[in-house]
Amino acid sequence: MISDISVVTHSTAIGDLFNDAPVCGIFESDVIIYKILEFFSIYSVDAVIITRDTLPIGILTLKDLVRALYNCDNTGFPVKEFMSSPVTMFDPSVKIADVLEQMQETAFDKIVVAKENSIIGIIDKRHLLSMCYTQLTPIIKHEYNMVHSLMGMVGEGERGLLKMATTDALTGIGNRRLFEEIFQAHQALGKHYDVTLFLLLFDIDNFKSINDTFGHNVGDSVLKELTELVSRSIRKSDIFVRWGGEEFAILLRYSDPTTVMKIAEQIRQHIDKNSFETIVHVTCSFGMTFIQPGETLEEVFERADKALYRAKGDGKNCVRIENP
């Protein structure tokens, strides 16, 4: 039986999804169909594991059972005549991301988790993806949600350290480490969904002169006020972090680059028109790119940084895009 665990990510071990005593249905290959029909009528499952001398050799699904019984009485025949085989098995220590990748190459939708021929459970690709994405969605909604979700993977005494490690101390939003973790999760699972990701990179124009002229306390105040302003200008599902110094990054999910360009321009205008408490006027330059499946963060960031560099060269306080 599938375990009700609190956090499922791409790095969760597949064996962690199952209870110690799973009710997944395990039958030897010479058992007659009638016995399995009884099992399906009692338990809410859609597949059972078929073994030979305790070794998994196949799977019998409800669809297989329907085919076996269609227009004739096969209830007395052994299950091996109707099972789907061969079976795909994974060790419980294998990470979900690796399981999903290998499942793309398998002929069957369902896989078996077993250790040294001891069966742990059975799961199908759709259910596995659903569990992962159900857990991933609240992570994406807000950077603090990501922190809390990550906390669930460590002991109580380590939670304070984890929050410190994934939160920017000055602004209170996520930091580079948090962004990297979410990016990796997206790249591991995002290829299974029709989702387009965009990276928006921006920094404060002439920030060094602000620190030199007004002092670092004023510079820190600008960073905090700008963070609050941008946070109000984006969705909670957008991942907004301080990348470092006066540079920030936003991970967005939209269907087309035109929408993201409009959002970036709106953020730019909000900053440009805002009267900051300390120095009145601040502007930012923006670089944007969209993320392709399989790309590394370094590749994506290099492209966004190139767009940001063009924005600086074009007079600053503007938005530029760099396509892959």
Give the residue numbers marked as catalytic.
246
Radius of gyration of the chain (CA): 26
49 and 56 Cβ atoms separated by less than 8 Å? yes
95: which 2 tokens?
């990470």
d(CA 121, CA 2): 8
**DSSP output for 247-297:** EEEEEEE-S-HHHHHHHHHHHHHHHHH--BTTTB---EEEEEEEEPTT--H
Burial class (CB in 10 A: 0-12, 13-18, 19+), 134: exposed
Q: What is the largest CA-CA distance in the chain?
A: 89
d(CA 97, CA 77): 39
